[in-house]
Structure 1
Amino acid sequence: MALDGPDRIIHADNLDVLPAFPDSAFTLVYLDPPFNTGRAQSRQSMRHVRIVEPDASDEASAPVVGAVTGFAGKRYERIRGDLLRYDDRFDDYWGFLEPRLVEAWRLLADDGTLYLHLDYREAHYAKVLLDALFGRECFLNEIVWAYDYGAKAKRKWPTKHDTILVYVKDPQRYWFDSSAVDREPYMAPGLVTPEKAANGKLPTDVWWHTIVSPTGREKTGYPTQKPEGILRRIVQASTREGDWVLDFFAGSGTTGAVATALGRRFVLVDENPEAIEVMRRRFAGVAGVEFDAVQGRMDA
């Protein structure tokens, strides 16, 4: 499946589609998978695990079928087993997510970046396991998206953030352009010069940004929709104009909407018919967007 045509929105189980795309096709992969809800998920029987030797000189070696060595020379199965003793629900979730992350690694260009958007309850498990898949040296950032909306807990600190883990394909070659990112206001503008206050500052790894307003222009009605401001910052920093962006848990299509606005190309995949209908409405007035349907496990 070559990337020489229009932007695409594909209705399919993503594992039925991803193997058809060529290696190193995307500069950015953004994933906002369903959080660990306990819903049964299909699995692949074939396992791909990245070999990372303690003194490896090739930091971007490819995933190898059947390998069992994880980061720092530890056995990958040992890492998985240790984690399972702490959370017996995690195995099913990782069995669902792992083969998709392996595909994300394969599809990333050498200068590419993965942004994995997770619930705070899963991020620490995913961090250890992504170190085993990508290599610990490929970890770039943990971004905290903080917001202040909705009910507040009374018996603990209210949980008002998501975690975004950022990994690169090659730590020596990844693309990142902080100058392209929209600047934000200083929290204490009186402590900087008027010129700096007027220009704003570069964001840090803590992003204060409201959720999608229930009455705002962005609202599509999709329950897990993410705000354009979050995706805009990601696309600005980690791609150039004309680069290809992939989101295979596309939901309401925010990644594609932002990519279009910034002059990037995109492929979106989702197996939920409601998500596809939301995206049909959202992209109805956008030229050059093609909708496809791939039959496979989603109909099984």
Structure 2
Amino acid sequence: MPTAWSPSSPNRVIRADNLEILPSLPEGAFTLIYLDPPFNTGRKQNRRTTTSVRVLPASEAPSEAGPGSVPRNGVPVTSPRAGGLAASGTITGFKGQLYERIKGDLLGYDDQFEDYWAFLEPRLIEAWRLLAEDGTLYLHLDYREAHYAKVLLDALFGRDCFLNELIWAYDYGAKSKNRWPTKHDTILVYVKNPQHYYFDSTTVDREPYMAPGLVTPEKVARGKLPTDVWWHTIVSPTGKEKTGYPTQKPVGILRRMIQASSREGDWVLDFFAGSGTTGAVAESLGRRFLLIDQNPESIQVMRTRFAALPEVEFLDAS
């Protein structure tokens, strides 16, 4: 059952299926949304076909946009939640192509993609709705899904809303001897409004120069701003940061995102919360947080992690 939330609520952790909670949250309430979804949902595959149909550009449309359409950067976009549309929705993507057509094309390349996107798509639609006008989405994926997600997010958010592809590179674990070892994750960064998003690189922790002899001592002392390739170790299995949660992400990775794309007092949302790193970092930087996860192990880890923090409310809506 959905749980009431507003920007005046305390920091909160909710145990629930996130898709049952997200529609109850107010539109445009979050400056930053970070998502680290499961890479394999384990769902049974169900095949379907998609018809390729061209959607007329707004200039050629025979009538005014209906009640299910909202303008996005001057282009009418059919809302996936409008009455009478299929659950997966139809959205006018770049070059006036039907969003369903783009999904159909991708299915022709990988027949295992459909199940994953059927799980993720409605949640990303909600993420777009929940982002503030100056808000930013960080979607954390591995190399198997990132290229599909990029094409579909271009259609869902708008291609001009794509800000960055971040590469988190690390060097840990087994190394393949019959191919290049895969030692990176991809984080796709999209903004709600490309003309009005918040980003402040001056607040981001700097990192050492890789070739300090090539810059001045003053620059060495100050450090350099991170680029779109982030060299950062994983959470050490024996380090103090480790919570025991298997998919825990490093504090340093979340810290960069939250520093750059939110201000003190802003709300941060993570509805695949896992070990709660997003909330821990948000609180340490003076941001507010709402975390959602349906895994009892995740909730227990966060209860332990947040035990010393004041006013963190735990609710069970499952």
TM-score when normalising by structure 1: 0.91
Deviations 1:109-157 (CA, angstroms, capped at 9, x unpaired)? 0000000000111000000000111000100000000000000000000
Shifted more, 165-174 versus 52-61: the winner is 52-61
User: What residue in structure 2 maps to residue 10 of structure 1?
Assistant: 14
CA separation of 1:181 and 1:53: change in aligned 2, threshold 3 A: farther
Q: Could you tell me how far 1:62 is from its partner in structure 2?
A: 6.4
Is residue 2:54 matched to residue 1:31?
no
Corresponding position of 1:88:
111
- The letter of the residue matching 2:287 is R
Give the aligned partner of residue 155 of structure 1: 178
Where do 5+ consecutive residues of structure 2 fail to align?
Answer: 46-54, 60-69
Judged with a 3 Å threshold, the aligned counterparts in structure 2 of structure 1 residues 77 and 57 are, in CA distance, closer, same or farther, namely: closer
Kindly provide the amino acid, as one letter, of the partner of residue 298 in structure 2: A
Query: Matches of 2:94 and 2:290 in 1, distance apart?
Result: 31
Match of 1:190 among 188, 192, 213: 213
Judged with a 3 Å threshold, the aligned counterparts in structure 2 of structure 1 residues 63 and 257 are, in CA distance, closer, same or farther, namely farther
Match of 2:291 among 250, 264, 268: 268
For 2:239 and 2:92, the matched residues in 1 are separated by 48
Note the 1:205-244 alignment, pairs <5 A.
Answer: 205-244=228-267
User: How many positions carry a matched residue from both structures?
Assistant: 286
Where do 5+ consecutive residues of structure 1 fail to align?
A: 42-50, 296-300
Which residue in the other structure is 1:252 paired with?
A: 275
- Quick check: 2:206–2:226 contact (8 Å CA) kept in 1? yes
SS at 2:145's partner residue? helix
Match of 1:112 among 123, 131, 135: 135
Contact in 1 for aligned 2:41/2:119 (Cα 8 Å): no
Percent sequence identity is 73
How much has 1:37 moved relative to structure 2? 4.9
- 1:141 equivalent to 2:141? Answer no
**CA displacement at 1:247 relative to structure 2:** 0.1
Counterpart of 1:59, as a letter, is N
Report the equivalent of 1:102.
125
Q: What residue identity is the alignment partner of 1:25?
A: A
How far does the alpha carbon of each residue in 1:4-52 deviate from its partner, in whole angstroms, 9 at most, with x for none? 12100000000111111100000000000000353459xxxxxxxxx99
SS of the residue 1:29 aligns to: strand
Maintained 8 Å contact 1:38/1:89: no
Correspondence 1:78 to 2:116: no
Please, which of 20, 36, 59 is the counterpart of residue 73 of structure 2?
59
Deviation at 1:197, TM superposition (A): 0.8
Matching residue's letter, 1:15: L
Using a 3 Å threshold, how does the CA distance of structure 1 residues 130 and 52 change in structure 2: closer, same or farther? Answer: farther
Which amino acid in 1 is paired with 2:73? E
Answer yes or no: is the 8 Å Cα contact 2:78–2:91 preserved in 1: no
Larger radius of gyration: 2
Does the CA-based 8 Å contact 1:23-1:107 persist in structure 2? yes
Call closer, same or farther: CA 1:54–1:154 in 2, change over 3 Å: farther
Partners of 1:252 and 1:63 in 2: how far apart?
36
Q: Counterpart of 1:277 in 2: which secondary structure?
A: helix
Contact 1:109 1:169 in 2 (8 A): yes
Residues 26, 130 of structure 2: 8 Å contact kept: yes
Alignment partner of 1:214: what SS?
A: coil
The DSSP-based 3-state class of the residue aligned with 2:272 is coil
Q: Give 4+ residue runs of structure 1 displaced > 6 Å after superposition.
A: 54-57
| Corresponding residue SS for 1:290 | strand
RMSD of aligned Cα (Å): 1.9
DSSP-derived class of the 2:168 partner: strand
